[in-house]
């Protein structure tokens, strides 16, 4: 964001940046709290739609049909997923794209309970990780990604039940989220796996071997997304 041309005069610096002109104080006396300077520049509103559009980040290589090739089966999966999307209160919601009847999934309560107990024993030996884990669970509930069922709801529920285990991925170098909770839907149980019950959708990325590189006027043209 700070890669534009800079012009300095006295203790003022003017820099042309992607969002417009920015004026700020430079020099050794800029830290003198007795001299407070406020610089303002009136600019026209900037539309950042294209600025953040990933499609404008690749080098233009001329006319090119870069749409990924999909089979008829992939197109049908994409149609099912698109039809399940619904815009509600400025948020997109999507139903599960089932390809098999979820009622055929066996009750895996004991298996997931064992994994939860193993996770709790591990966190008991790592108090810092336990704090991070608990913080993530609270955040999911606050953001309404999950909620705790009441005893009444559990007792009165007569429908089908299937559980998904979760574990933590620790990345201490990430200051905002040093631990991230991952729900594992690929664990098999009695020959059944949740991932086998829904469509994964087509691969919308171009095949790397189909990416065309060519040089034109000492500039590299890229066809497709890498």
- The 10s digit of each residue's pLDDT in 24-63 is 775 555 555 555 455 555 666 666 666 656 555 544 445 5
How far is it, in rounded angstroms, from Cα 49 to Cα 54? 10
**Residue range 215-226: average pLDDT?**
43
Q: How many domains in the chain?
A: 2
Clarify whether residues 118 and 33 are in a common domain.
no
Asked if residue 87 belongs to a domain, the reply is no
- The stretch 90-97 carries a mean pLDDT of 82
- Partners of 9 in beta bridges: 12
- The domain containing residue 174 runs over which residues? 100-197
Domain assignment of residue 78, yes or no: no
Would the pLDDT of 181 be above 90?
yes
Q: CA angle 212-56-59, nearest 5°?
A: 35
**Segment of 53-62, 120-129, 169-178 carrying the highest mean pLDDT:** 120-129
95 located within any domain: no
pTM over 0.85: no
What's the whole-number average pLDDT of the chain?
Answer: 77
Residues 112 and 193 reside in one and the same domain: yes
In a domain, 73, yes or no: no
Flag whether 4 is in a domain.
yes
Q: What local confidence, expressed as pLDDT, does residue 20 receive?
A: 72
133 CB burial (10 A radius; 0-12, 13-18, 19+): buried
What pLDDT is stored for residue 85 in this prediction?
85
Domain-embedded: residue 115: yes
Same-domain check for residues 110 and 177? yes
Q: Is residue 53 part of a domain?
A: no
Question: Does 130 fall in a domain?
Answer: yes
């Amino acid at each position: 964001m700070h890669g534009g041309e800079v012009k300095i005069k006295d203790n003022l610096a003017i820099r042309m940046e992607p969002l417009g002109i920015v004026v700020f104080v430079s020099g050794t006396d800029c830290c003198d709290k007795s001299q407070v300077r406020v610089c303002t520049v009136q600019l026209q509103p900037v539309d950042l739609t294209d600025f953040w559009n990933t499609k404008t980040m690749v080098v233009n290589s001329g006319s090119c049909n870069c749409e990924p090739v999909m089979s008829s089966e992939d197109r049908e999966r994409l149609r099912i997923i698109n039809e399940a999307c619904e815009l509600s209160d400025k948020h997109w919601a999507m139903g599960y794209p089932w390809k098999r009847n979820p009622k055929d999934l066996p009750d895996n309560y004991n298996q997931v309970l064992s994994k939860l107990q193993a996770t709790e024993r591990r966190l008991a030996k790592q108090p810092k990780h336990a704090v991070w884990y608990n913080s993530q669970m609270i955040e999911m509930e606050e953001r309404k990604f999950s909620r705790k069922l009441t005893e009444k709801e559990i007792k009165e529920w007569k429908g089908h039940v299937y559980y998904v285990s979760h574990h933590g991925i620790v990345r201490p170098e990430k200051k905002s989220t040093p631990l991230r909770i991952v729900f594992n839907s690929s664990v098999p149980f009695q020959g059944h796996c949740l991932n086998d019950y829904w469509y994964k959708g087509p691969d919308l990325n171009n095949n790397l071997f189909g990416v065309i590189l060519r040089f034109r006027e000492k500039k590299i043209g890229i066809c497709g997304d890498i």
